[in-house]
Chains A and B, each alone.
Chain A
Amino acid sequence: MNKTWNNKAWFMVLPVLLLVAFSAVIPLMTVVNYSVQDTFGNNQFFWNGVGWFSDVLESDRFWQALGRNLLFSGIILTIEIPLGILIALNMPKKGLGVPVCLVLMALPLLIPWNVVGTIWQVFGRVDIGLLGRTLHSLGINYNYVNNVFDAWLTLIIMDVWHWTSLVVLLCYAGLVSIPEAYYQAAKIDGASRWAVFRYIQLPKMKRVLLIAFLLRFMDSFMIYTEPFVVTGGGPGNSTTFLSIDLVKMAIGQFDLGPAAAMSIIYFLIILLLSWIFYTVMTSSDEQA
């Protein structure tokens, strides 16, 4: 759409700008403020320069948490995106099955995140949970409380359970928008199932897949509540993600300076990655 140049449009954006600025800019400036100052308590602060930043960047704790975050996001993206596409391809196209599938699949998305954590914490428990109990009776020594591998496995299955539906619904939306004529043309050409997927369905889903990828990456990168409820960051520090570490530092130990410096680094990483995604997305918009 060719848009008119009109700077008065700023007035329409103003309410949003003020509201978001109140909620975003002021808190962010507070964080910046803390990140460059140190205190002896008593609300007396003095300039600390980039001290906290270099502390954070030199600490193993930060890099390990960052590594865990990247590993987690990587694993769940490689599972959820292909699985979501597979399920979306096999969804019923019409009839009663459609609303039933949509409603049931969307259900996990609307469960409060700590309830998701609670559900899986209970479900995986060896004494009272269906999953833990079943695995135990099969002779598998599953225990997410003190086994690192089991803790990770539980978190990954939980995230797949929680969020794959988002990918499914997005892909499904992309698929139903493909006109029937495309499939008929493919049939006349004798296209194989794979060719239909590769040259018709995948290109049509590109746009929604990008949204799915973007949303899933961002949300998994800042995951907090669910692992906090299920494992509390343990066993040891094995599931302590950046956000968990951050809250521990800021509210638990009240180390405001390092926590603020870490917040800013964390935010900058997300900002950089988001900018890359945004550029890719808008450039694909212009091609279309």
Chain B
Amino acid sequence: MTSQATTANTIQTGVASNAGAKAGAGSKRSLSWLIPTLYIVFLMLPIYWLVNMSFKTNQEITGVFSLWPQSPTLRNYAVIFTDPAWYSGYINSILYVVLNTVISVAVALPAAYAFSRYRFLGDKHLFFWLLTNRMAPPAVFALPFFQLYSAFGLIDTHIAVAIAHCLFNVPLAVWILEGFMSGVPKEIDETAYIDGYSFPKFFAKIFVPLIASGIGVAAFFCFMFSWVELLIARTLTTTDAKPIAATMTRTVSASGMDWGVLAAAGVLTIIPGALVIYFVRNYIAKGFALGRV
């Protein structure tokens, strides 16, 4: 195909070579189409199985092997939406995740500005120290966290989990925002000062709108890592602020494992993530490169 296209290029004029290039691209697409599709099928299979299970009765799950529900039921979802022990888990999770996202982005904004615009004593060491906290294994911190937050009487509150998750989300937010801010020319700051803007006014009115997509991306990442983390969230909560993911571990009852409810709860934990991805889909590509491509 490629050789044909090049022959066309050498012999004929612009129009023909254009057509050749198009044909080449077309045949390549028909081949490359396969790989992402196979990958997506691989990604969707386990999720499909979970969704499938969530609409089955427990007898069907353990008794019959079927690729789709034979007698679809909403009973599993009904259990979750009528039992406060279940649905309060969702409210708790969303509360501390949102709280964490707001705190992380709010404190990271000025710090990222400082890192992107100024050099100061120990700046590089500080930046590395911040990053090491992103690298700290949660398992190391689980027990001391419990003792620290007990000492402050914060155990089983949403704010405790939100602050604890700042450990890895703040460094990440600083990192992402610093990347986006470095892409904004410094002349913009200087022009604004000449025009008589004070720093806070400049920051809020001019700078923040310029890096709005960066803030969105940072918020997305904070949301994501706080939403998926469980070890610390579970360690710091007992009943009132218990996250949904921890509630899921209680599906073993006297009558055996309640697979249907477990699957339904799993499906419901996927939904907020899916919604968030849908909203940031246009920034995802840039965001995953942390604004530094």
Contact = CB atoms under 8 A, between A and B. Distances in A.
A246 interface: yes
Interface stretch (A54-62, A138-146, A169-177): A169-177
Binding site of B, secondary structure by majority: helix, strand, loop or mixed?
helix
Interface residues of A, number: 97
B132 interface: yes
Contacts of A161: 42-43, 46
Contact of B119 (A5, A12, A22, A274): A5
B137 A4 contact: no
B11 interface: no
Interface in A102-160: 102-115, 118-120, 122-123, 127-131, 133
A172 B285 contact: yes
B231 A225 contact: yes
A66 interface: no
Interface in B149-204: 163-164, 166-167, 170-171, 174, 182, 186
B147 A173 contact: no
Contacts, number: 285
A176 B182 contact: no
A33 B270 CA distance: 40
A187 B133 CA distance: 46
A112 B36 CA distance: 24
Nearest to B48: A130
Contacts of A275: 128
Interface stretch (B79-87, B205-213, B274-282): B274-282
Contacts of A128: 53, 61-62, 65, 259
Interface string B254-289: 000001001100100110111011100110111111
B15 interface: no
Given A19-B163, A211-B290, A225-B230, A28 B144 contact: yes
Interface of A: 1, 3-10, 12-13, 15-17, 19-20, 22-24, 26-28, 30-31, 86-87, 89-92, 99, 101-115, 118-120, 122-123, 127-131, 133, 161, 164-166, 168-170, 172-174, 176-177, 187, 190, 193, 207-208, 211, 218, 221-222, 224-225, 242-244, 246-247, 250-251, 256, 259, 263, 266-267, 270-271, 274-275, 278
Given A26-B148, A27-B141, 9 more contacts: A27-B145, A30-B144, A91-B36, A118-B248, A122-B259, A133-B65, A247-B139, A259-B143, A266-B137
